[in-house]
Chains A and B, each alone.
Chain A
Amino acid sequence: MLCWRYCADLERINMLREITIGQYYPVDSVLHRMDPRTKLFGTMVYIVSLFLADNVWGYAAAAVFLAVVIRLSRVPVSFMVRGLKAILFLLLISVSFNLFLTDGEELFRIWVLRVTKEGVRMAGFMAVRLIFLVMGSSVMTLTTTPNQLTDGLEKSLGFLKKIKVPVHEMAMIMSIALRFIPILVEETDKIMKAQMARGADFESGGLVQKAKSMVPLLVPLFISAFRRATDLAMAMEARCYHGGEGRTKMKPLRYAGRDYAAYLTYAAYMGVMAAVRVVF
């Protein structure tokens, strides 16, 4: 086994770890303490506002809003930017489509591709919109643990229970899944190491060989997952879990002053965005 392959093994383990941590960035800030519903709603408001903006001033207002929010979250900007890597491809495609396929006053030509003034404008706005969109939603996922997020969703979508949507059950499934992902990732890491210590090689060989080499990893993983699932089910039963009916929460979501302040800010922000659109 050459060195690069050894690095690849580790790289894979690290990648798994990245999923574990999810996105959450654990510091204490106003945004971290805010009710997840407020943040969910805020993200939606922000996304809508981005589609409302149709000129430079609108985007400037959105930029200021985003900058202030990022500042308040106390999460390093580099973490927000990290999320952009995932959409780089999408960004490139949409920018080039807008750049080359928009009709209007021609600026210059490269071979058969015409670049127009309108195209440049559209492409620029498109890029900014996408970037802000991703960064805006990153703020939410970076400041909210997956469990808080599920809680927030359950409560916000509670009205759907009236039309017999099993909101509680879905939220429970989601939070258990979220709870289990890091555990299983840790477990995978340990099993991989234990088998690598016995000379396992998860990399080389053809497809069949590779699939075969996964058996020593998957068997212990499944066994452990099933064991954990039964244990959890028993622990839940032992504590009288019987679905969402009449269940109360230890930490019920409750709006605080900062949440009301946030909603007021949203209203003001939307007001500004609407005004900018009308005035300019």
Chain B
Amino acid sequence: MAIKVENLTFIYNQGTALEQKALDDVSFEIPDGQFVGLIGHTGSGKSTLIQHLNGLVKPTGGKILYNGEDICGEGYNLRQLRSKVGLVFQYPEHQLFEVDVISDVCYGPRNLGLSEEEVHARAEDALRLVGMKEKYWDQSPFELSGGQKRRVAIAGVLAMNPEVLILDEPTAGLDPRGRDEILDQIEMLHKERGMTTILVSHSMEDMARYADRLLVMNHGKKAFDGTPKEVFRHYKELEQMGLAAPQVTYVVHALRERGLEIDEDITTVEEARDALLAVLRRPGKDQHA
């Protein structure tokens, strides 16, 4: 019972002409060690939601419990919470400020009040984890490429050794290889450290591949909550929300309509390949050929 959100409502600019309801009665619970994908159309409230989870935004209504404690409660230590629930923002430009990469990554652990050796050890670990080679460590973070900046930003949060890692569209603007590398590293961290991971992404393929569970937001409300397979079964409704199922799911559905007996819950290319091979190898395949 790591994170529990109860009837969370949030309104931007409350009491002014620009009132905007960004979250509307959202409830869910994320157990320890889960890999949760958060999807939703632009402006559906994903970023707003995850900023609540480490106390950067104060809910208009409802509650957020971390390990059973109300994070908005009197005297709750929010700085400690923020070191446990690491949040990587969408744009690395918003957090890089130091003269070199390694110092920038040291910023987070230093704020935790660790010894200088510990700070450096953690920063170096984190940089290795995200695949930043040592030759970059003394470079200015502003001279890096977009993908490298993002890695440094992720390292900056990882160096705080969070229990929960939340990433807001960490792959936006990356090339396919960079995207896969970063996501693979996140998955590895998730597996090795048992870190609870929440990933915001617009790529349904990534979601199908990495997430144990999908939360779907639509106009500030929670629309679906389930395993990727369960959620993508509703691909028609998802489309109405401006989302979609992974491309292969469409191919699989089209094949089924043509009479091929293949599992409709296929969401990744690998699954589709295996299922297709199995079907095609079955005797009597000629009738569909």
Partner of A199, one of B74, B91, B93, B112: B112
A220 B94 Cβ-Cβ under 8 A: yes
A220 B93 Cβ-Cβ under 8 A: yes
Q: Which residue of B lies closest to A25 (CB)?
A: B17
B96 A220 Cβ-Cβ under 8 A: yes
In the complex, whether A210 has a CB less than 8 A from a CB of chain B is: no
In the complex, whether B75 has a CB less than 8 A from a CB of chain A is: yes
Number of interface residues of A (CB under 8 A): 30
In the complex, whether A190 has a CB less than 8 A from a CB of chain B is: yes
In the complex, whether B210 has a CB less than 8 A from a CB of chain A is: no
How far, in angstroms, from A193 to B168 measured CA to CA in the complex? Answer: 13
A197 B75 Cβ-Cβ under 8 A: no
State how many angstroms separate the Cβ of A47 from the closest Cβ of chain B. Answer: 26
B55 A194 Cβ-Cβ under 8 A: no
- Chain A residues contacting B83 (CB-CB under 8 Å) are 199
Bitwise, A182-206 to B at CB < 8 A (1) or not (0) is 0000010011011111111100000
Partner of B75, one of A3, A7, A26: A3
Partner of A197, one of B16, B17, B86: B86
In the complex, whether B197 has a CB less than 8 A from a CB of chain A is: no
Would you call the interface of chain A mostly helix, strand, loop, or mixed?
A: helix
In the complex, whether B111 has a CB less than 8 A from a CB of chain A is: yes
How far, in angstroms, from A189 to B178 measured CA to CA in the complex? Answer: 28
- Chain B residues contacting A27 (CB-CB under 8 Å) are 17
In the complex, whether A21 has a CB less than 8 A from a CB of chain B is: yes
- Chain B residues contacting A201 (CB-CB under 8 Å) are 79, 111
- Chain A residues contacting B160 (CB-CB under 8 Å) are 198-199
Partner of A7, one of B17, B58, B91, B112: B58
Bitwise, B56-88 to A at CB < 8 A (1) or not (0) is 111000000000000011111111001100111
B91 A190 Cβ-Cβ under 8 A: yes
- Chain B residues contacting A219 (CB-CB under 8 Å) are 97
Q: A199-B111, A216-B107 are in contact. Are A194 and B94 (CB under 8 A)?
A: yes
How far, in angstroms, from A220 to B107 measured CA to CA in the complex? Answer: 14
B13 A21 Cβ-Cβ under 8 A: yes
In the complex, whether A215 has a CB less than 8 A from a CB of chain B is: yes
Q: A27-B17, A198-B157, A216-B97 are in contact. Are A193 and B89 (CB under 8 A)?
A: yes
Q: A6-B78, A215-B97, A220-B93 are in contact. Are A197 and B57 (CB under 8 A)?
A: no
Partner of A195, one of B72, B74, B79, B95: B95
In the complex, whether B136 has a CB less than 8 A from a CB of chain A is: no
In the complex, whether B142 has a CB less than 8 A from a CB of chain A is: yes
B13 A194 Cβ-Cβ under 8 A: no
In the complex, whether B277 has a CB less than 8 A from a CB of chain A is: no
In the complex, whether B170 has a CB less than 8 A from a CB of chain A is: no
Q: Which residue of A lies closest to B51 (CB)?
A: A193
- Chain B residues contacting A2 (CB-CB under 8 Å) are 75
State how many angstroms separate the Cβ of B71 from the closest Cβ of chain A. Answer: 9
Partner of A196, one of B56, B76, B77, B93: B56
How far, in angstroms, from A21 to B111 measured CA to CA in the complex? Answer: 33
Partner of B95, one of A3, A10, A220: A220
- Chain B residues contacting A3 (CB-CB under 8 Å) are 72-76, 78
Interface residues of A in 11-45 (CB under 8 A from B): 17, 21, 25-27
In the complex, whether B18 has a CB less than 8 A from a CB of chain A is: yes
Q: Which residue of B lies closest to A14 (CB)?
A: B13
How far, in angstroms, from A1 to B89 measured CA to CA in the complex? Answer: 22
B79 A1 Cβ-Cβ under 8 A: yes
Question: Which of A7, A195, A201: most chain B CB closer than 10 A?
Answer: A195
In the complex, whether A55 has a CB less than 8 A from a CB of chain B is: no
B89 A190 Cβ-Cβ under 8 A: yes
Q: A3-B75, A10-B58, A220-B94 are in contact. Are A198 and B51 (CB under 8 A)?
A: no
In the complex, whether B54 has a CB less than 8 A from a CB of chain A is: yes
State how many angstroms separate the Cβ of B244 from the closest Cβ of chain A. Answer: 28
Q: Which residue of A lies closest to B88 (CB)?
A: A197
B79 A197 Cβ-Cβ under 8 A: no
In the complex, whether A224 has a CB less than 8 A from a CB of chain B is: yes
- Chain A residues contacting B97 (CB-CB under 8 Å) are 215-216, 219-220
Bitwise, A120-148 to B at CB < 8 A (1) or not (0) is 00000000000000000000000000000
State how many angstroms separate the Cβ of A264 from the closest Cβ of chain B. Answer: 30
In the complex, whether A177 has a CB less than 8 A from a CB of chain B is: no
Q: Which residue of B lies closest to A7 (CB)?
A: B58
Q: Which residue of A lies closest to B17 (CB)?
A: A25
- Chain A residues contacting B54 (CB-CB under 8 Å) are 197
In the complex, whether B108 has a CB less than 8 A from a CB of chain A is: yes
Q: Which residue of B lies closest to A1 (CB)?
A: B79
How far, in angstroms, from A103 to B75 measured CA to CA in the complex? Answer: 56
In the complex, whether A93 has a CB less than 8 A from a CB of chain B is: no
Question: Which of A25, A197, A219: most chain B CB closer than 10 A?
Answer: A197
- Chain B residues contacting A190 (CB-CB under 8 Å) are 89, 91, 94
How far, in angstroms, from A216 to B86 measured CA to CA in the complex? Answer: 18
A197 B96 Cβ-Cβ under 8 A: no
Question: Which of A27, A191, A194, A196: most chain B CB closer than 10 A?
Answer: A194
Partner of A17, one of B13, B87, B89, B157: B13
6 contacts between A and B (CB under 8 A): A3-B72, A21-B17, A25-B17, A193-B51, A193-B56, A199-B82
Q: Which 8 A-B pairs have the closest CB atoms?
A: A199-B111, A219-B97, A198-B108, A194-B95, A194-B94, A1-B79, A197-B87, A194-B89
